[in-house]
Amino acid sequence: MEKEIIFTGFLAKNKAYIFIRKYGFYVLYILWFLIEIIINCSTAGQRVPYNVYLSVQRLPKYALFLYIILFQNYSFRQLLIILPVTVLLYYSAWLSHFHELFYTWLFIVGMKNSDFNKIALFSLWMLGICIPLYALLCKTGVFPDAGVFRGNQFRTALGFIHPNSFGVRVFIFTSCWYYVRRNRLTVADYLFVILLSLFVWFVPNSRTSSICMVLLSALIFLYSNSRFTSSPLCRNSDYFLIVSAVFVNLGTVLLSIFYSEQNSAMRLLDKALSGRLSIANQLFHEFGITLFGQQIYVNMSERIYAGLGNTAINFDNSYMRILLHWGVLVYVFFSVLTIWGLIYEKRRNNPTLFVILFMVLIYSFSEKILYQGTYCVFILALSDLLYSKLPKRQSIQHSPTF
């Protein structure tokens, strides 16, 4: 067995050390998640100064860094991957003044001794409590409604900072629901998610979220059918989904870079995507692409300061955001990591996680969920690539009690 390098001054038999090593990550993840979802509410920065939120936001991340150093063991081979990537992401975060991807990477690294099944279960409960609570507080006037208009239709945000933010949270909730209940799904589960998708479509009118929930339900239903999973069609479907994920990644980047108002097909596609291609193209021309990353200005105050206008920009394409914000090297690494994560789950015969990761990669073209672990808990499942040897094809592990 490969000898491990131990980063700790505590005795391995110390009870406090063993307790923190076993449960510390879960505590830090729950704190991270709750702080982020509080910051994501519509009243953030109004009742409590926003800089106070930001100061509190850093606490679980700094504690995680200490947890990784003091309470986790790494082989030399693991360190050959973890250390260079950590240095790269930290340098890119320092250049870009945007640290979310770096913090998400730390939580991926910190998952070494933790069970993702429990992380998914914790996320399900926290979202299951916070989403209806925020909606109730919004409708009773405790939280302001940060809704927006699309044409003549008012899109309520139900307590979150934007209707699409509400939609993303509901999508991740339903993904956690399917994952936790993957071994005992019934017709009621699918009807529950479909009803949620209809609610998301008609109330906050978060269309992409609603569509992704329906597609997720269809794929989960298909991959839960033993006749399908044992047929040659399933193998072809697996490869099709992997290729589709690669296509969406590269396709949205290339379309954003080479977008032209003179091309009628591109204009129609951009209109269907609520201007996401033209916005990414504008930022590409303003800032260009760098190797290690850069600061880009999307907030109103930043753009005024930089002389780029007085209008904030909603930059929601995860792939272009990673490319422009963190640079080519980080974009390539994260693209390879996520696609290899799909391949890994396919070979591990874990269809539920395979399908969910696929839908996350598809959804990422229109929302910035790919690099934020509290938006998308399933990114943390990529830690298996760092620490697990590729097992033989096996049945899905039993999900935690719910």
What are 244-289's pLDDT values in tens digits?
Answer: 999 999 999 999 999 999 998 999 998 888 888 999 999 999 999 9
Separation between Cα atoms, residue 120 and residue 173, nearest integer Å: 9
Phi, psi torsion values for 6, nearest 5 degrees: -105, 120
- Number of domains observed in the structure of the chain: 2
| Pair 288, 210 in one domain | no
Q: Are both 326 and 292 inside the same structural domain?
A: yes
Dihedrals φ, ψ of 160, to 5°? -95, 175
What is the per-residue pLDDT for 316?
83
Helix axes 187-202, 207-223, angle to 10 degrees: 170
What's the pLDDT score for residue 193?
A: 96
Range of the domain at 339: 77-102+225-402
48 lies in some domain: no
Query: Are residues 211 and 295 part of one domain?
Result: no
Mean pLDDT of 154-161: 88
Residues near 81 by beta carbon (within 8 Å), at least 6 away in sequence? 386
- Give the per-residue pLDDT at 45: 52
Calculate what percentage of the chain has a pLDDT beyond 70.
88
217 lies in the same domain as 258: no
Token pair, residue 151, equals 């044409």
Q: Are 74 and 82 in contact (CB under 8 A)?
A: yes
Both 347 and 360 in a single domain? yes
Does 267 share its domain with 143?
no
Helices (H), 181-275: 187-202, 207-223, 226-229, 232-257, 264-272
Average pLDDT over residues 172-191: 94
Residue 321 has pLDDT above 60, yes or no: yes
Interatomic CA distance for residues 271 and 275, integer angstroms:
5
Instruction: Find the mean pLDDT for residues 1-21.
Output: 59
Residue 13 lies in a domain: no
Is the residue at 126 inside a domain?
A: no
Q: Is residue 66 part of a domain?
A: no
pLDDT tier, 402 (very low <50, low <70, confident <90, very high otherwise):
very low
Closest CA to 179 of 386, 400, 370: 400
Decide if 83 contacts 351 (C-beta within 8 A): no
Considering the domain architecture, whether residues 154 and 280 belong to the same structural domain is answered as: no
Q: Are residues 366 and 281 in the same domain?
A: yes
Residues 183 and 252 in one domain: no
pLDDT band, very low/low/confident/very high, at 150 (cuts 50, 70, 90)? confident
* 264, part of any domain: yes
SS3 state of residue 4: strand
Measured at the CA of 365, the angle between CA 221 and CA 111, to 5 degrees, comes to 70
For residue 7, pLDDT over 80 is answered with no
Contacts of 398 (CB under 8 A, 6+ apart): 183
Q: Are residues 216 and 270 in the same domain?
A: no
Q: Is residue 18 part of a domain?
A: no
Say which range, 20-24, 247-251, 378-382, 390-394, has the weakest mean pLDDT: 390-394
Least confident of 9-23, 177-191, 195-209: 9-23
- pLDDT at res. 166: 92
Mean pLDDT (the chain) is: 85
Mean pLDDT of the 99-113 span: 90
Task: Report whether pLDDT(367) > 90.
Answer: no
Please tell me whether residues 173 and 285 are part of one structural domain.
Answer: no
Give the residue with greater pLDDT, 332 vs 142: 332
pLDDT for 113: 85
pLDDT in tens, 22-73: 888 999 999 999 888 887 776 655 556 666 766 777 888 889 999 999 888 8
Q: Which of 391, 384, 375 is nearest to 100 (CA)?
A: 375
d(CA 178, CA 368): 22
Residue 298 forms part of a structural domain: yes
- Mean pLDDT, to the nearest integer, of 335-341? 94
